Chains A and B, each alone.
Chain A
């Protein structure tokens, strides 16, 4: 049984990569954001997970709307970043974990989650920014990453309830994998924000904090929301909360909050960090 040791949530916006590239971490604008990360980095360096299951959404790099998978999973040995159109430097290749990826894919499809299974997958800022944040200097090559991509671009999108169930199914799959490897889970994106329309600029601090509380202690409470509810309450891109909800579903045992930070605004978003410890279910 592989061991799910804990989870991290983080924003993944491109502006973070720009701030790191331009060494702005200590500036007044960015400091309250970056100050949220040292405890997470320390935990990762101390616990040394072998594998990260990383929930993100593609923002039009790998997938176009010609064919838009609702849920997809990478099963490759390696993943590459590429030009997303705005000149952020691409980063070194990301190492995959093919065997566990295929195990999860097999288990999920059996379990009723009909994944799109990807042997090649360009990974965009949704996946790469969190890795750069956790391992400064892009020193993440030793960690094996399993990308799980959720459609947050085109309606119909999977609902929060379904994303939680996807996470639980991934949790069961990892638990049934015969290995002593240590797995951590990343939920990325969010929180409240809206980039588009006359309503651009909305941030709902109160709702973000409430979501973070619920993610720790009562994730089922978040499944009462539909995607349209999330959009009304937290803005059009608040549906990225679905990646956090999916992350939480993987943690089927005992969850303890070790650290959190919330800061808004970062670019146009409310930005939350959670570090959760996980004890495996019996």
Chain B
């Protein structure tokens, strides 16, 4: 079935589709710039001003300042670019997983182990 015919939603998941790609364009472009040290430094000096430079919406900007990953996803952030934002914050994927699921990092890691064992 094509993407046009198959509009199903997957619980707890924001598909990075055309809607998100458009909505999150500036946000992702900013995070893409974190590939470079220059971009990371400029962001760290004045986070809000750097968000403005890329035309983030007020909701996106607040979510960046609050490190609110779930809102960033809903506002069009792609996890691959948000991962660069997370790296800048020195957070790894278990930290990000914990933030999104409302668990502690240890609880999230324990869930990974349980899932990995197929339980």
Give residues in A with beta carbon < 8 Å to B.
15, 59-61, 64-66, 82-87, 153-156, 194-206, 226, 228, 231-232, 236-237, 263-265, 267-268, 270
Contact = CB atoms under 8 A, between A and B. Distances in A.
Contacts of B92: 15, 267
A264 B16 contact: no
Given A60-B80, A155-B3, A196-B79, A268 B88 contact: no
B55 to A, nearest CB: 14
A197 B12 contact: yes
A65 B31 CA distance: 12
A83 B36 contact: yes
A197 B13 contact: yes
B101 A82 contact: no
A196 B1 contact: no
Contacts of A236: 10, 13, 15, 79
B74 to A, nearest CB: 9
Question: In which size bucket is the chain B interface?
Answer: 35 or more
Interface of B: 1, 3, 6, 8, 10-18, 21, 25, 28-29, 31-32, 34-37, 40, 69-70, 73, 78-84, 86-88, 92-94, 96-97, 100-101, 108, 111-113, 115-118
Contacts of A268: 93-94, 97, 112
A201 B97 contact: yes
Contact of B84 (A65, A82, A85, A267): A85
A205 B81 CA distance: 27
Contacts of B40: 85
B79 to A, nearest CB: 4
A237 B79 CA distance: 10
Given A205-B116, A263-B116, 20 more contacts: A59-B80, A60-B81, A85-B83, A86-B84, A154-B16, A154-B17, A156-B17, A156-B18, A196-B14, A197-B73, A198-B70, A199-B10, A199-B13, A203-B112, A228-B3, A231-B15, A236-B13, A264-B115, A265-B116, A268-B97
B8 A228 contact: yes
Nearest to A65: B21
Shortest 3 CB-CB contacts between residues of A and residues of B: A86-B87, A199-B12, A264-B116
